[in-house]
Amino acid sequence: MRNRSITFKLFILSVIFFACFYLMIILSQFFFFEKFYQNYRITKVERELDKFALKYTQEKADNKELLLEAVKFMSHSRSQLAVVNMDGNMVMEDPYRLVLELPDHKRVLVALSLFMSMNPEKFREANIKVGDKLTIWGEKDIRENESPMVLYPDKINKLNSKSSSIGENFDEDSSQISGTVVDLVLPNIKNWNQRQGLLMVALYEHFPLSAEVKEQLNSMVKQEFQWVEPWSGTSNFIIIEPIMKENGKKDLLFTVTSLQEISDANEALRWLFIYVGCGGIILILILALFFSKMVAKPLIALNTMAKKMLNFEFGSLKPIRQKDEIGGLSMSMLTMSQKLDNALRELKEANQQLQKDMEQKERMEKTQKEFFTNASHELKTPLSIVKSFAEGLKDGVNLNKQDHYISVIVEEAEKMEMLITNMLDLARLDSGTIELRKTSLMLSELVEKVASRLMYPLQDKGLEIVVVPVNEQPVPADPLWFEQVVLNLITNAIRHAVTGSTILIEVISTPDRTTLSVSNQGETLSEEQLDLIWERFYRGEASRSRQTGGTGLGLSIARQIMDLHGCGYSVRNLQDGVQFLVEFPV
């Protein structure tokens, strides 16, 4: 079976997902949206109506405050509202109105809801404001014990610089008034409802109330029903809510909410989704391809990283720059590869070090065997000499030779003592139990002190020691142990120096270090000797001469002491000899 790439699989899954999601939206729009939105709209109207009813029933609320609340209700719910009695007569003034002050300072309230719905465009163009002078023709509605007078306009003329006329027909019996606008309440332009006059049609249609409805309202039962306006055929929802004021008076809140805009919008949305569906399929394919590429690309990169790790190609790995789980996984893989690389490198270095250590161990074992052989030889020879000379003394050798025999015995005993002392010193240094007692000392003074002790070996070979201090500064060192270092270095230089030559010892201080150098004139060292000269039991002369070869422990002891002091040290060939360097860091 053919293997499909992860990009292809993600593409198919994304197409199915987006298609199902889009189909769900289409089906919801076709079958549920209109009913859902109607319920939402009606619930919102009921909630706002309950707020208004609570305000209306309060005895303290004045007429102007109630009118403002009515305007707020119609603005929020986009419905029409009237407060009527059981016979359908208006109890509350029209919320959209203007107050006209006549020349005799009387005021007339002009109801505008029906007039605005019949002349919406011209009313907007007139742009009536407080302070405008108007002439109005209409029907008066004078109620007993109520002021001011209410006028339902048929025609309005604006008398300012740009005169304009709103409305055309009016009866000859219509009342005519002229005055100045002192108060004005109009709907917000955004919420301007051209069906404002629909409220009056609904009132004429439903009043007087049927006996059944009136009985329900008297029982304080809210009435809700749909109503189709006979002229235009538009669908509306009517709510009649009975309210009882604190003074015992019963009124009705009559609201009309248009449902036609919901049906029109739903119908338009259906066709819109049908048209958009064609382009939606292409969009789904593009989105699915983009999504599959976006998700698959880092996964492919992770797979490539894993293959490189499998081939131990750690150096060429690159992380995925994403701040998500895939980016985190990439960084974890990169970190793991770096740790693996370091671990493998350390393992390789450890193997190399182990190999070196094994080689070093073999050299040490070989050197130790040579040392024991040399030590046995070095001890055997003086012991044999001591024994033979002691036997000669015992047998009564010539009295003239007794002093010579005794001096030979003492000399050989001193050599054996030096060998044993060196072995004990080396064992102490290896144990790590030595505690240095550092003081500030001048190396040139220490060199002079050691040189004075080596006066006789120097005279035997006709050698001269020259000490040259240059800007010398004191160094921290243990005087007893570091004297051993200087002694071993100078002794080694004397041992290998050409007869009659000069041993140059320099002490040079710089801002970052103090360097002690011991140089002689003699044979240079081979590369192998330069590498092994610090090793214990190593002797430069293959012949192991007791006079010139030493014990092979002096430089090894010096190295151990210098390591304890934290010094750097080295040896190099000069043109005519060898130079040892010791560095004290500042």
Q: What contacts 24+ positions apart, CB below 8 Å, involve 280-286? A: 280/22, 281/19, 284/15, 284/18, 284/19, 284/22, 285/15
* Distance (Å, whole) CA 174 – CA 496: 145
The pLDDT assigned to 33 comes to 74
Query: Which helix (H) or strand (E) covers residue 510, if one does?
Result: strand 502-510
Least confident interval from 350-359, 441-450, 507-516, 551-560: 551-560
- Reported as type and span, the H/E element at residue 99 is strand 97-101
d(CA 218, CA 56) in angstroms, rounded, equals 18
Q: Residue 507: which pLDDT band, with cuts at 50, 70 and 90?
A: very high
- Residue 207's CB is within 10 A of a number of other CB atoms, namely 15
Residue 578 has pLDDT above 90, yes or no: yes
What 8-state DSSP symbol labels residue 90? B
pLDDT of residue 529 exceeding 70, the answer is yes
Q: Is the dihedral of CA 521, 522, 526, 529 positive or negative?
A: negative
Six token digits for residue 334 = 């990169």
CB 417, CB 386: distance < 8 Å: no
pLDDT over threshold 70, residue 53: yes
All residues at 6 or more sequence positions from 82 whose CB lies less than 8 Å from its CB, including other chains? 90, 92, 199, 203, 253, 254, 255
> 553 is written with which tokens?
């422990």
Q: Which two tokens stand for residue 75?
A: 């603005």
Beta carbons of 75 and 187 less than 8 angstroms apart: yes
What sign for the dihedral angle of Cα 310, 313, 316, 318? positive
Among residues 425, 370, 384, the alpha carbon closest in space to that of 558 is found at: 425
Q: Report the C-alpha gap between 299 and 320 in whole angstroms.
A: 10
Among 10-24, 76-90, 148-162, 515-529, the range of highest mean pLDDT: 515-529
CB atoms under 10 Å from CB of 378, counted, come to 21
Closest CA to 130 of 98, 107, 152, 178: 98
Give me the domains of the chain, ranges plus CATH numbers: 81-260 (no CATH), 321-433 (1.10.287.130), 436-585 (3.30.565.10)
**In sequence order, which residues have a C-beta less than 8 Å from that of residue 3 and are 6 or more positions away?**
none
**CB contact at 8 A, 506 and 472:** no
Residue 473 is inside which H or E element, if any? none
Instruction: Tell me what the mean pLDDT of segment 200-206 comes to.
Output: 82
Which one has a higher pLDDT value, 59 or 168? Answer: 168
Phi, psi of 504 (to 5 degrees): -100, 125
Nearest CA among 41, 28, 44, 27 for reference residue 260: 41
pLDDT at 342 over 90: no
Q: What is the pLDDT of residues 489-506, one digit of tens each?
A: 999 999 899 999 999 999
Instruction: Kindly provide the b/e burial profile for residues 324-355, where b requires at least 16 CB atoms within 10 angstroms of the residue's own CB.
Output: eebeebbeebbeebeeebeeeeeeeeeeeeee
Residue 146: per-residue pLDDT: 52
CA angle 18/24/27 to nearest 5° reads 140
Structure tokens at 377: 């030889």
Highest mean pLDDT out of 16-25, 49-58, 160-169, 284-293: 49-58
CA 18 to the chain's CA centroid: 32
Query: What number of H helices and E strands is found in the chain?
Result: 15, 17
The top-scoring range by mean pLDDT among 53-67, 230-244, 423-437 is 230-244
pLDDT, average across residues 148-154: 80
Q: Quick one: pLDDT at residue 409?
A: 79
Structure tokens at 428: 């102490």
Coil/strand/helix, residue 395 = coil
Q: Is the pLDDT of residue 192 over 60?
A: no
Token duo for residue 570: 């080295």
Burial class for 518, CB neighbours closer than 10 Å (0-12, 13-18, 19+): buried
Phi-psi region of 400 (alpha: psi -120 to 50; beta: other; left: phi over 0): alpha
Mean pLDDT value of segment 371-395:
72
| Bridge-based pairing state of the strands 464-470 and 502-510 | parallel
* Choice between 42 and 27, residue whose per-residue pLDDT is larger: 42
The DSSP call for residue 210 is P
Tell me the whole-structure pTM to 2 decimals.
0.42
Most confident segment among 226-240, 282-296, 464-478: 464-478
* Token pair listed for 376: 């046995």
